């Protein structure tokens, strides 16, 4: 019950944040040009990479059997050291980074990002401790407040003519707001303070997680870097927005699961409980949502892009559709990190991203000069490659066979077929054109939900039981209010 409550709170947090984020993307995409969005990619990528490395000790705080004041101060020391060094490097390298992109005005952009990097160490340990205790109500308050602040600042500054600088100043402003709220709801005792002891343990235990995240993020940025090296800044912006649309199903699904997965599995591991059953159940539940969402969005990519980004971005629709199909080939990727991290199998965790990376880089470098679609098509090969490597890495620790996976995924495949049947009929009625009207897209969505629900019920999918349980809980809690007489 506690885990379900944590998932519900995490879902509320992430989905509210995602709705706000989608509104910001829709607004900014209509205010700024693809070139203005494109020139921010390198800076925002650098910020995200440093953020990943800096968060190394948060995994240490979540996973460690016992947390004391000394361990939290050690985590803070590591985070502050990483942030200070990274901020200094970005600040000093700002002119060179701006020259690399051929835009001298970006010097100020990178230096403001350097300032934003210094704020994280003063709030991340607090939120990590809240996650460890599954206190996702307070985590949600911190996250949603931060997202709202970022949204207001970014859209407001973009409207005032700050152009790409709106991204940088919004990070600084939202970082300050996050810091204040985290200190208001978190336990500040013994967290903020420098120490000479324990920092090596924090770096060692969290280092594998940080390195995994760094390699994963670097891999994701390869297309941006290669397009930028060819001077294709508009293509960088188009690729980034195509990713935004294609990532929507995964983010909607994983936003709630990801923050809870590692703490929950780590708690089971500390208690000596097995992970295979929960992991297979998670794969079945996740795929029953992810696969239908990917297929339906592929059918509705044109109206979705029009609503989310605006008409100037419609050229990315075919690219989005290919990316969505490629993501169908990664049904187990989401469990690789939490499983291996919870079991302390850090070498396998690193191998899951290191082994396929050279092939990924080579394919992208060869495909990028041929344009956006060539890179999108390459994912039809690269995504299965990562899935195979991930499966090999978790197969041994979980004693996970292909037959186990087939049983977990079989009913989800039927659910995906049921969901996409309705939209496919609508597209057939429209002459197999994807540029359907908004009303027809809404009809497709309704038919997709109906077909999905029917397929879940007909197959007896475990997700159907979870949905019924959730409905019963809501009905039980609301019945006294609606049934009360004046």
pLDDT in tens, the chain (486 residues): 555 565 566 666 667 777 888 788 778 878 887 777 777 766 777 787 777 777 766 766 666 666 666 777 777 888 888 888 888 998 998 888 888 777 777 888 889 988 988 888 888 877 877 776 767 778 878 888 888 999 999 999 989 888 888 888 999 999 899 888 888 887 666 667 676 776 666 666 666 777 787 788 788 888 988 887 777 777 877 888 888 888 888 777 665 555 555 555 655 555 556 677 788 888 888 888 889 999 999 999 999 998 888 888 888 999 999 999 999 998 888 888 888 877 778 788 889 999 999 999 999 999 998 989 999 999 999 999 999 999 999 888 788 888 988 998 999 999 999 999 999 999 999 888 899 999 999 999 999 999 999 999 999 988 888 777 767 766 666 655 555 444
Which residue is it, tokens 């996740």? Answer: 286
Q: Are 206 and 58 in contact (CB under 8 A)?
A: yes
Q: Are 314 and 303 in contact (CB under 8 A)?
A: no
Q: Are 229 and 293 in contact (CB under 8 A)?
A: no
Q: Are 297 and 321 in contact (CB under 8 A)?
A: no
pLDDT at 118: 87
* Virtual torsion, Cα 133, 288, 274, 5, nearest 10 deg: 20
- For residue 11, give the H/E element and its range: helix 2-31
The H helix count followed by the E strand count for the chain is 22, 0
How far is residue 473 from each of residues 4, 180, 289, 469, 470, measured CA to CA in Å?
12, 35, 21, 6, 5
Q: Are 305 and 314 in contact (CB under 8 A)?
A: yes
Q: Are 37 and 241 in contact (CB under 8 A)?
A: yes
Euclidean distance between CA atoms 85 and 91, whole angstroms? 10
Q: Coil, helix or strand for 6?
A: helix
Return all residues near 316 (Cβ < 8 A) that are at least 6 apart: 238, 241, 242, 245, 305, 309, 372
Euclidean distance between CA atoms 32 and 55, whole angstroms? 31
Euclidean distance between CA atoms 250 and 328, whole angstroms? 10
pLDDT at 48: 78
Q: Give the chain's length.
A: 486
Q: What's the gap between Cα 317 and its chain centre?
A: 21
Return all residues near 76 (Cβ < 8 A) that are at least 6 apart: 57, 121, 125, 191, 192, 193, 194
Q: Which two tokens stand for residue 357?
A: 């990376």
Q: Which two tokens stand for residue 91?
A: 């600040």
- pTM of the model as a whole: 0.70
Taking the alpha carbons at both ends of the chain, their separation in whole angstroms is 34
The radius of gyration computed from the CA coordinates of the chain, to the nearest angstrom, equals 23
Q: Which two tokens stand for residue 456?
A: 């879940």
Counting Cβ atoms within 10 Å, is residue 245 exposed (0-12), middle (13-18) or buried (19+)? buried
- Cα angle at 459 between 454 and 464, to 5 degrees? 65
Closest C-alpha among 187, 189, 169 to residue 177: 169
Q: Are 324 and 242 in contact (CB under 8 A)?
A: no
Domain ranges of the chain: 1-214, 247-473
Euclidean distance between CA atoms 359 and 436, whole angstroms? 38
Euclidean distance between CA atoms 37 and 480, whole angstroms? 51
Euclidean distance between CA atoms 219 and 339, whole angstroms? 21
Q: Which two tokens stand for residue 129?
A: 């401790």
């Amino acid at each position: 019950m506690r885990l379900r409550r944590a998932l519900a709170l995490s879902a509320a947090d992430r989905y509210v944040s995602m709705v706000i984020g989608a509104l910001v993307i829709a607004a900014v995409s209509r205010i700024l040009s693809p070139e203005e969005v494109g020139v921010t990619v390198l800076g925002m990528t650098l910020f995200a990479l440093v953020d990943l490395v800096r968060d190394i000790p948060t995994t240490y705080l979540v996973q460690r059997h016992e947390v004391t004041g000394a361990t939290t101060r050690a985590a803070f020391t590591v985070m502050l050291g990483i942030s200070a060094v990274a901020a200094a490097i970005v600040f000093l390298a700002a002119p060179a980074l701006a020259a690399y992109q051929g835009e001298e005005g970006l010097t100020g952009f990178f230096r403001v990002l350097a300032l934003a990097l210094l704020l994280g160490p003063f709030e991340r340990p607090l939120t990590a401790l809240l996650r460890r205790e599954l206190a996702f109500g307070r985590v949600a308050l911190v996250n949603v407040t931060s997202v709202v602040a970022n949204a207001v600042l970014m859209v407001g500054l973009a409207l005032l003519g700050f152009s790409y600088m709106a991204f940088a100043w919004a990070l600084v402003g939202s970082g300050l707001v996050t810091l204040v709220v985290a200190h208001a709801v978190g336990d500040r005792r013994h967290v903020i303070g420098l120490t000479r002891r324990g920092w090596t343990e924090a770096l060692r235990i969290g280092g594998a997680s940080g390195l995994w995240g760094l390699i994963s993020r670097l891999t994701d940025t390869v297309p941006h870097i290669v397009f930028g090296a060819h001077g294709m800044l508009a293509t960088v912006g188009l690729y980034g927005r195509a990713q935004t649309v294609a990532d929507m199903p995964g983010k909607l699904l994983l936003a709630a699961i990801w923050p809870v997965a590692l703490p929950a599995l780590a708690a089971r591991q500390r208690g000596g409980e097995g992970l295979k059953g929960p992991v297979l159940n998670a794969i079945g539940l996740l795929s029953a949502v992810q696969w239908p969402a990917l297929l339906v969005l592929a059918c509705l990519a044109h109206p979705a892009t029009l609503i989310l980004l605006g008409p100037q971005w419609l050229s990315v629709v075919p690219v989005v559709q290919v990316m969505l199909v490629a993501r169908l080939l990664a049904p187990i990727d989401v469990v690789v990190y939490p499983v291996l991290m919870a079991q302390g199998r850090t070498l396998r965790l690193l191998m899951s991203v290191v082994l396929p990376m050279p092939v990924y880089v080579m394919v992208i470098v060869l495909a990028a000069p041929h344009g956006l679609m060539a890179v999108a098509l390459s994912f039809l090969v690269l995504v299965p490659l990562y899935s195979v490597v991930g499966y090999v890495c978790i197969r041994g620790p979980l004693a996970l066979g292909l037959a186990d996976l087939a049983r977990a995924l079989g009913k989800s495949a039927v659910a995906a077929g049921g969901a996409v049947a309705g939209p496919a009929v609508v597209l057939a009625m429209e002459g197999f054109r994807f540029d359907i009207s908004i009303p027809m897209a809404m009809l497709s969505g309704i038919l997709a939900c109906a077909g999905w629900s029917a397929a879940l019920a007909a197959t007896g999918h475990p997700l159907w039981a979870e949905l019924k349980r959730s409905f019963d809980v809501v009905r039980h809690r609301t019945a006294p209010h609606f049934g009360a007489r004046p």
